[in-house]
Structure 1
Amino acid sequence: MKFKVIIFFILYGISAISEAQTLKAFLYTANFNSPENKSYIETYLSFDVNSVHLIEDENNKYYGELDIYIEILEDGNLIYNDHYSLKSPYFKDSIFNNLLFIDQHRIAIPNGQYSLSIKVKDIHSSSEVLEHKEQITMEFEENKLAFSDITLIEKYTKTINKNKLSKSGYDLTPYVSNFFPPTENTLS
């Protein structure tokens, strides 16, 4: 009987720890100007799937779901917002899925000073909402030389089905981190 009680508390403790895991996310933003002199910002969110609470579906596959809210303000006035649910890729198991999955948005905004706010919540977890705020300056004047930001690429493949990562016939997976491990010796 004692053995069963000890096992129960061990399993309960493991369950509580896994439920309270902290969501790990990385954000990178880049400002761009098109040949038509239209400016836009790209947001790249990368999530460590091991920090997302995965649930099992009817096909015995595991996935996570995140609630994401993006808002851009200019002088306190809302000029853009989006609220959506993002599903992770599917996995065979709920643990040891060493993968980062990415969400990318392109948002057209004219030149100016803006406040960007992004909130992320793991839908299937009691973890806190992650919130990030930053100031954005878009300065692409028509008759002046200006440079768009640089986005490092983790990998690229020829586009088969056009998606958020598609540009000029290729799917470009951004490298969303400021850490470069010693094993990483190639930048695409």
Structure 2
Amino acid sequence: MRQLHVFDRPSRFVAGTVGQPGDRAFYLQAVDGARVVSVALEKQQVEVLADRLEQLLDDIVERTGTALPADETDTEALDQPIDEEFRVAAMGLAWDGDTGLVVIEAQAPVDEPEVAEETLLEDVEDGPDALRVLIEPTTARAFVERARRLVSAGRPPCPLCGQPLTPSGHVCARLNGYRRGVSLNP
């Protein structure tokens, strides 16, 4: 049976990390009172979610002519304890015009990809576990700002290949595997 965690206007919805750059675990976390749900995902998924969410908000502004400024951006650490409910395999994003809310859903992996497509953003009994969050557009704007800072706070990229640098350098594909000793300290 599917476990669907639904948060309608939670007190907090953020992307966050645990660990040091290069060894960080990324999470989406929804909080409402004592209820805390955290799901793990990849850095690239956070970046894509922020991009698509920003695009959705810009489309809403264009269609309605209404400015959607960001709420004050949440800079606090993730709420404890961080108990991973599942690792995100698929995400969905929608605008609910009736309520004026952004709907974000993150789903657990499934064996059959067509099942994920059929159940994403749907209220069905069978399917993968999911976290569904309904938030105000201003909260969504603040989520985007925090996610962008989170993604950019990682290790700097190699100027040649774009892969993340470590303090001791890295094996750069553009240099045919020779170790490139690049200092992270300016």
TM-score normalized by structure 2?
Answer: 0.25
TM-score normalized by structure 1?
Answer: 0.25
- Name the structure where strand makes up a greater proportion of residues: 1
Q: Which has the larger radius of gyration?
A: 1
